Structure 1
Amino acid sequence: MCTVSLLFAIQDGFSKQLGAEYPPLLVVMIRFWVFAIFVTMLVARKPGGLRAAVRSRRPVMQIVRGLLLAAEVVVMVEAFVRLGLVETHALFTVYPLMVAALSGPVLGEKVGWRRWLAIGAGFVGILIILQPGARALSVEALLPLSAAVMFAVYGLLTRMVARDDSAMVSFFWTAMAGAVGMTLVGLKDWQWLAPVDWLWMACLCVVSITSHYLLIRAYELAEASVLQPFAYTQLVFVSVLGVVVFGETLHMNVVIGATIVVGAGLFTLWRSQVRARQQAARQAAEAGRTRS
């Protein structure tokens, strides 16, 4: 998972480089084309092949998921160009807290007062990063926050479709819906890349495919709740990349705010695990009483 986070950071660096020269819609469209080819080849090797991957019990929701993810990637690329890698990711790290906040009204899950306090602390961290009293709230700052909302909703929809569809079915529909959606809106911005930029694009696609493959392998080896804390290492990797490669400045308010947000996110994850264990223990106790 740490390797995945490193590759995601490198992938974002390539996206920033290409997004500064070409329309983000074009960059993301080509990326999703390669992603769709990779997923098609991957699922074709699984039991049932493509026929099994197409069979979704919630096709509309799967399409919405794919389109939402593609839109989130476009917004993030735009944010990388306008705001930089460091500040974009510092603001984007709020998405797990948004998942926790939205899990109540969307999924009907109970969010206790401890997690609400953590969510509130996380948003205080966001305010520290934004410094609304010291500077005007810019449109650029709203980009990663908008992407965080979209990614949080995408995560919730993923949990909903997981009740009926396998992970491979969801993976396939995400790639296909994203590729089709990006083609419909991105072809108008088509232009041939310079030879050196095709090299950067190839590197972006290779890193993207490798990172997603390793992510699948990671989830095969361990539970998502165990892996999630390691995903925060991406913020460290992307900060080093932004400062060393792109000459960005790491402001102290960003460091403090991001630390609060990550800490709140980790606490929220821990509380979710505690509640899951408590619920499992209650269900086991009830089952024991029923048998007796």
Structure 2
Amino acid sequence: MTDAETSVGRRPENLVLGALLTTAAFFCVAMVGTLAKVAGQYTSTGVLLLFQNAICLLFVIPVVMRGGWSSMRTGKIGLHVLRAVAGTACWYALFFAIARIPLANATLLTYSAPLWMPLIAWAVTRQRVATATWVGAVVGFAGVVLVLQPQGHRVDVGELAAFAGALLLAVAMMSVRWLGATEPILRVLFYFFLLSTLLSVPIAALDWRPIPPAAWAWLIGLGLAQLSSQTLIVLAYRYAPAEKLGPFIYSVIVFTAVADWLFWNHPPTLVTYGGMALVIGGGLIAIRARRQARQPVRE
């Protein structure tokens, strides 16, 4: 999931390195989903959510302390709360989904989020959205319909959860973009992990299941994979802007499809391949349209 779309600390552009770091980051995101699916066999979704956020917070706090707590002062607490609520709900929806449907399908549906960002931006700002952006959204939505296949079977609650996760992720991504205008990367990450951990505590308490010894390694791995993804994406955006690295986000769909095939024997069907192609293609069209629109008109 993209949690640090800022340009703080930008170095001379190196698109190749930025692309490699972004791809590595979303390999780690795929690992988060894979580890959550394994750990979910031992404990509850709420516990997964709490461990993911708490482990990341434990690693971020010492970094913040070295820089001084005064650097965490913010005038954008409302946006930080919005981002944390949307992000936490998104992760809960994704973890809930992957326990019920194939990992690849859950990830594909959730990471259709960029397709919904233009609609959210239009609803909030009422600014004109480029025709090509809408075309990309329609193409991607056709891919979502292919994956859901509503005419072939009843839509599963896991699929609905993953789709809801996509809308929540789109809100989280938009809030990160707005925060990135003024907030440094460390502050964005600190408030996200702090607020998400606080939000996860009551969820885990209500959804508590005893944690067997076999689950601890998977839970710690889950948190470390999430932390690695955030660290790598922060590094990536230092070498290239988010607009140019956007297409590499979709590598997470490929990685999770491979993991689903290898570990759970869920080879993608031709229909799923078609859905993947349409979602990725629609996302690329929308990204390109936004990139071109930024030159004559500021969004």
TM over 0.5: yes
* Residue-by-residue CA offset, 1:246-279 (whole Å, 9 max, x unaligned): 2223111111011111101001101111111233
SS of equivalent to 1:41? helix
Q: Which has the higher helix share?
A: 1
Question: 5 Å matches for 1:9-48?
Answer: 9-46=30-67
* Residue-by-residue CA offset, 1:156-206 (whole Å, 9 max, x unaligned): 122223344333222211111101111122124444422221111122222
Matched residue type, 1:173: Y
Structure 1 CA distance for aligned equivalents of residues 297 and 198 of structure 2: 41
Residue number among 115, 129, 134 corresponding to 1:111 in the alignment: 129
Residue number among 62, 71, 78 corresponding to 1:52 in the alignment: 71
Bigger relative contact order, structure 1 or 2, given CA contacts below 8 A and separation 6+? 2
Which range moved further: 99-108 or 176-185? 99-108
SS of equivalent to 1:60? helix
Q: Which runs of 5+ in 1 are unaligned?
A: 281-292
SS of equivalent to 2:74? coil
Matched residue type, 1:50: W
Q: Which runs of 5+ in 2 are unaligned?
A: 1-21
CA gap 1:166/1:108 in 2 versus in 1, 3 angstroms: farther
Matched residue type, 1:25: G
Matched residue type, 2:105: E
Moved segments of 4+, more than 4 Å: none
Matched residue type, 1:33: A
Q: Which residue of 2 aligns with 1:219?
A: 237
Structure 2 CA distance for aligned equivalents of residues 244 and 144 of structure 1: 22
Q: CA deviation at 1:224?
A: 0.9
Structure 2 CA distance for aligned equivalents of residues 106 and 202 of structure 1: 38
Is the radius of gyration larger for structure 1 or structure 2?
Answer: 1
**CA root-mean-square deviation:** 1.7
Q: CA deviation at 1:108?
A: 3.9
Residue number among 92, 101, 107 corresponding to 1:89 in the alignment: 107
Matched residue type, 2:187: V
SS of equivalent to 1:279? coil
Residue number among 253, 268, 281 corresponding to 1:235 in the alignment: 253
Residue number among 47, 67, 70 corresponding to 2:85 in the alignment: 67
* Residue-by-residue CA offset, 1:12-61 (whole Å, 9 max, x unaligned): 11101111321100111122111111221233334xx22211x1112122
Residue number among 282, 289, 292 corresponding to 1:271 in the alignment: 289
SS of equivalent to 1:82? coil
Give the TM-score normalised by structure 2: 0.87
Which range moved further: 162-171 or 117-126? 162-171
Structure 1 CA distance for aligned equivalents of residues 39 and 142 of structure 2: 33
SS of equivalent to 2:37? helix
- 2:247–2:284 contact (8 Å) kept in structure 1: yes
Structure 1 CA distance for aligned equivalents of residues 172 and 215 of structure 2: 30
Q: CA deviation at 1:89?
A: 1.5
How many equivalent residue pairs? 277
- 1:93–1:258 contact (8 Å) kept in structure 2: no
Residue number among 20, 23, 30 corresponding to 1:2 in the alignment: 23
